[in-house]
């Protein structure tokens, strides 16, 4: 343990998590205790945790409220990133609900305080996106409980659309229906999560939507009413709180409380009881939370400005002329119109569209519409169109940031990133086009948030040692693969929708490394996820649904680890582990597939832990000769053809820890007949 981090003295370790540790620290100048969250840059989660720390610091820097934790400083000390915040000696609301010792009325007042703090955050355009009891710290001030809302690490801030782990960031049980459906979080999504906490407080810890798997929980949130509150749950609190729960958990955002303060007021009013309740309480006016958009009014900045456009409002008519006049740091403000120019941007400038989306079009006659080759370029709200056979936007070197707008009209590539170059795209639509929407070469890097990619020959292609991160994106409608990871590339996709591709949703080749978290891979005519030739894929919380080929194909030499995923409703096999493939499925659901739920071919090796293989239209588990399969605490039931089907010379699976195989074991005998057997 270090003795210091920046200016802070490190006193002792308070706790550990997946991404780092929390220490008790002390500011020697001010003489106050602080909590220090730290992450070492060399750890596996270093980049992700640093980004979350930065978001948490930026979000909390906007907020100064008694019910929001105070952030003092974000810094780095010899490779270790730290976040200094106020030290609070208390308990998480989650623990208080679970223990059941604190009166429900006190916990409801705590929740009303959280509503106050969250409403303040919403008024400053900060959407939390991970509201849950574990992110509420409760301290005691005399006889009164005091709430502090914590962990803005996945928050969404204002019109810029700054997010990192966003569509589907947070915890599934607290996600609003519209968030699951569209991946777009709003203040009303946070109010839904508050409704879930309200239900938990009243019920003593039960959740309103539950199921045996992540998939069933999602379906309940999207399609079913919450489980009714039991009469015994209301023994010590007013029954009028049921109506408050119902409104907070309404499926449609417009049917919920207009803002968090209104929900807090309703909770307090219900606690006062009918005798003290006023005859009518006018709901406060909704707090406007800006919706991320691609185009803003004339932006503010400190740099030199040049206006481009016709009608006497522009200082010049040509973007090329404006670029020649611009200095480093200049803002080029572009009035609505079509600009038939091919641009080479080799200065650190911002090109910002004025007007409504789609009104500023840069249309190339030859070559790319825009070539970026500067250290820091920003493009906002532009529509870029290119000619046949070219990339519309090409990043040759340096870094480009694209916010909003559209890139279309390509035959070869929508966005092309050369080796060593970087691009960031937020809320951008790439396509439709007849080529690949995004191609990243060599050591190029791309980060996409909230963007839609629709290229006829592919969505995202990553070559060599290229790196791509996708958060809350949609990869749709190609003749090949939505995501193609080649050679030694690395891709992380979070909370993204990959669907309706003629081949695979995700195709991993030649030693590539792909991580899929909370993604939906559905409706592809071929495989859902196929991993080939020394490829490595890690999947967590994904829905792989209704694909034409195997939901997951683990081919020769490939390795896959899948946790809490669902492989369902496919027109073929749910999971196919081929010769030389290796896989681990942990807490996965394989259900409703037309072929075998899980098929392990000769030479394949598969470990299934706490998995369920249910309601398949064929066999739950099909083992070929020379396959190696272990089942641990698994459930196999209600499969049409049987639970476990063994080929003639297949070895029995290794069974550990109380499996429940209701459909029994069958083996193909020498005559090709199915015979019931008892496993050894």
Q: In 91-126, which positions are buried (b, 16+ CB within 10 angstroms) versus exposed (e)? A: bbbbebbeeeebebeebbbbbbbbbbbbbbbbbebb
Radius of gyration of the chain (CA): 27
Q: Give the whole-angstrom CA distance, residue 452 versus residue 613.
A: 33
Contact between residue 179 and residue 150 where contact means Cβ atoms under 8 Å apart? no
Quote the DSSP letter at residue 234.
Answer: G
Instruction: Give the position of tokens 């891709």.
Output: 491
Q: Give the whole-angstrom CA distance, residue 369 versus residue 372.
A: 10
Which of 27, 77, 106, 130 is an active site residue? 130
Q: Is 418 assigned a catalytic role?
A: no
* C-alpha 41, offset from chain centre: 22
Beta strands in 564-603 (DSSP E): 566-568, 575-577, 582-586, 589-591, 598-600
Contact between residue 93 and residue 147 where contact means Cβ atoms under 8 Å apart? yes
Tokens matching residue 654: 């290794």
Residue in 546, 553, 554 with CA at minimum distance from that of residue 593: 546
Q: How many CB atoms lie within 10 A of CB 288?
A: 11
Quote the DSSP letter at residue 579.
Answer: T
Q: How many CB atoms lie within 10 A of CB 658?
A: 9
Residue in 41, 49, 47 with CA at minimum distance from that of residue 17: 49
Q: Give the whole-angstrom CA distance, residue 639 versus residue 644.
A: 9
Tokens matching residue 673: 């007949």
Residue in 506, 509, 465, 470 with CA at minimum distance from that of residue 486: 509
Contact between residue 641 and residue 618 where contact means Cβ atoms under 8 Å apart? yes
Helices and strands of the chain, counted as H and E runs: 9, 56
Residue in 655, 654, 649, 646 with CA at minimum distance from that of residue 677: 646
Contact between residue 567 and residue 543 where contact means Cβ atoms under 8 Å apart? no
Q: In 617-650, which positions are buried (b, 16+ CB within 10 angstroms) versus exposed (e)? A: ebbbbbbbeebbbebbebbbeebeebbbbbbeeb
Sign of CA dihedral 77, 80, 83, 84: negative
Query: Which residues participate in catalysis according to the annotation?
Result: 130
């Amino acid at each position: 343990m270090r003795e210091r981090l920046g200016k802070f003295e490190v006193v002792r370790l308070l706790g550990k998590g997946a991404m780092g540790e929390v220490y008790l620290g002390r500011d020697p100048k001010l003489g106050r205790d602080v909590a220090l969250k730290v992450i070492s840059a060399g750890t596996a989660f270093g980049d992700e945790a640093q980004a979350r720390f930065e978001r948490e610091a930026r979000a909390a820097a906007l907020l100064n409220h008694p019910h929001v934790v105070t952030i003092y400083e974000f810094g780095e000390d010899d490779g270790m990133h730290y976040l200094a915040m106020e030290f609070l000696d208390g308990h998480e609301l989650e623990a208080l609900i679970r223990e059941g010792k604190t009166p429900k009325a006190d916990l409801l007042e705590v929740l009303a305080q959280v509503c106050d703090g969250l409403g303040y955050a919403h008024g400053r355009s900060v959407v939390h996106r991970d509201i849950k009891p574990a992110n509420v710290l409760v301290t005691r001030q005399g006889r009164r409980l005091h709430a502090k809302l914590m962990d803005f690490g996945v928050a969404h801030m204002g019109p810029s659309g700054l997010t990192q782990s966003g569509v589907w960031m947070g915890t599934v049980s607290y996600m609003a229906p519209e968030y699951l459906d569209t991946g777009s979080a709003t203040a009303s999504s946070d109010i839904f999560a508050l409704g879930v906490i309200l239900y938990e407080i009243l019920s003593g810890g039960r959740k309103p939507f539950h199921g045996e798997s992540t998939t069933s929980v999602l379906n309940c949130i999207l399609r079913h009413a919450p489980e009714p509150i039991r009469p015994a749950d209301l023994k010590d609190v007013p029954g009028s709180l049921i109506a408050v729960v119902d409104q907070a958990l309404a499926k449609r955002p417009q049917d919920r409380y207009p803002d968090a303060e209104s929900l807090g007021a309703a909770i307090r009013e219900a606690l006062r009881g009918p005798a003290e309740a006023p005859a009518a309480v006018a709901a406060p006016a909704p707090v406007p939370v800006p919706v991320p958009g691609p185009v803003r009014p004339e932006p503010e900045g400190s740099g030199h400005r040049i206006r481009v456009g016709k009608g006497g409002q522009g200082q010049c008519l040509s973007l090329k002329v404006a670029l020649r006049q611009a200095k480093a740091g200049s803002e080029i403000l572009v009035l609505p119109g079509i600009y038939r120019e091919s641009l080479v941007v080799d200065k650190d400038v911002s090109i910002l569209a004025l007007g409504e989306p789609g009104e500023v079009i840069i249309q190339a006659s030859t070559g790319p519409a825009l070539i970026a080759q500067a250290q820091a370029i920003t493009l906002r709200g532009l529509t870029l169109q290119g000619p046949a056979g070219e990339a519309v936007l090409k990043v040759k070197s340096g870094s480009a940031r694209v916010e909003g707008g559209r890139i279309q009209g390509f035959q070869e590539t929508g966005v092309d990133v050369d080796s060593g170059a970087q691009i960031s795209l937020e809320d951008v639509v790439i396509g439709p086009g007849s080529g690949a929407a995004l191609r990243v070469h060599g050591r190029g890097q791309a980060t996409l948030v909230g963007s839609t990619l629709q290229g006829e020959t592919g969505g995202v292609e990553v070559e060599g040692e290229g790196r791509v991160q996708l958060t809350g994106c949609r990869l749709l409608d190609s003749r090949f693969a939505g995501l193609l990871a080649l050679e030694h590339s690395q891709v992380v996709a979070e909370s993204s929708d990959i669907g309706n591709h003629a081949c695979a949703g995700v195709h991993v080749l030649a030693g590539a490394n792909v991580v899929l978290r909370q993604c939906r891979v559905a409706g592809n005519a071929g495989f859902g996820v196929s991993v080939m030739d020394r490829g490595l894929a890690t999947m967590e919380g994904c829905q792989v649904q209704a694909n034409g080929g195997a939901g997951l194909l683990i081919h020769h030499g490939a390795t896959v680890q899948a946790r809490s995923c669902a492989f369902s409703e496919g027109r073929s096999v749910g999971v196919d582990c081929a010769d030389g493939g290796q896989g681990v499925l942990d807490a996965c659901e394989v259900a409703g597939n037309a072929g075998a739920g899980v098929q392990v071919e000769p030479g394949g090796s598969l470990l299934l832990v706490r998995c369920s293989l249910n309601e398949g239209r064929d066999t739950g588990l099909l083992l070929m000769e020379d396959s190696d399969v272990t089942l641990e605490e698994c459930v196999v039931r209600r499969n049409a053809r049987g639970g476990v089907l063994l080929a003639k010379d297949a070895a029995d699976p290794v069974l550990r820890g109380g499996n429940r195989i209701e459909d029994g074991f069958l083996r193909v005998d020498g005559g090709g007949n199915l015979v019931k057997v008892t496993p050894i």
